[in-house]
Amino acid sequence: MARQTVYVSGLDELRKGLRSAPPAVKRRLGQVNFEAGKAVIGWAEQEAQSAPAVTRHIFHAKALKASRAARSARLTLGGKKPKIAFAPGAEYGAKKYKRFPPWKGNQWSPDSGKVGYAMHPAFRKRKSEFLDIYMAMLDKVLSEPFPEDV
């Protein structure tokens, strides 16, 4: 498991409409998704302060990245270049390797209170706040190209 990604779902209809949107709208939407991801990373950094030491190190190593994709808000753990191989073990734990905290699983669901040591608990604690902020940002960006739908 070299890379784990968390997706914010429920935007399928919007994605279809965005295919014909002007490039400037797509860029602004990518920036909104990036800012939303950075907010979750900030909350995860706070959560990591009470996590095992190896979990705190994934934030020092900048192993959690926010995407600028217009299609979805996305976080990537471990990255592509340079690959930070210990990041998944630090977030999810491990059964075999003792340098990581105990395994907590890697199957995320909104109500699962067991998965993760920093990123997942931070998102679960602030899920409603995140959705309020994210939807307000989306409304602002999309009210111009899609005024009748917002």
At 76-129, the pLDDT tens digits run 888 666 678 888 888 888 999 888 888 887 776 656 678 888 888 888 899 899
> Is 150 among the domain residues?
no
Do the Cβ atoms of 58 and 83 come closer than 8 Å? Answer: no
Q: Is residue 148 part of a domain?
A: no
Residue 1: the pLDDT is 43
Band (pLDDT 50/70/90 cuts) for residue 58 is: confident
Q: Two tokens at 33?
A: 């998704």
Domains contained in the chain, number: 1
Residues in CB range of 106: below 8 A, 6 or more apart = 1, 4, 88, 92, 115
Name the more confident of 149 and 116. Answer: 116
Find out whether 73 and 8 touch, Cβ atoms under 8 Å.
Answer: yes
Say if 73 falls within a structural domain.
Answer: yes
Burial class (CB in 10 A: 0-12, 13-18, 19+), 99: exposed
In a domain, 147, yes or no: no
- Give a yes or no: residue 118 inside a domain: yes
Domain of residue 49 covers: 4-142
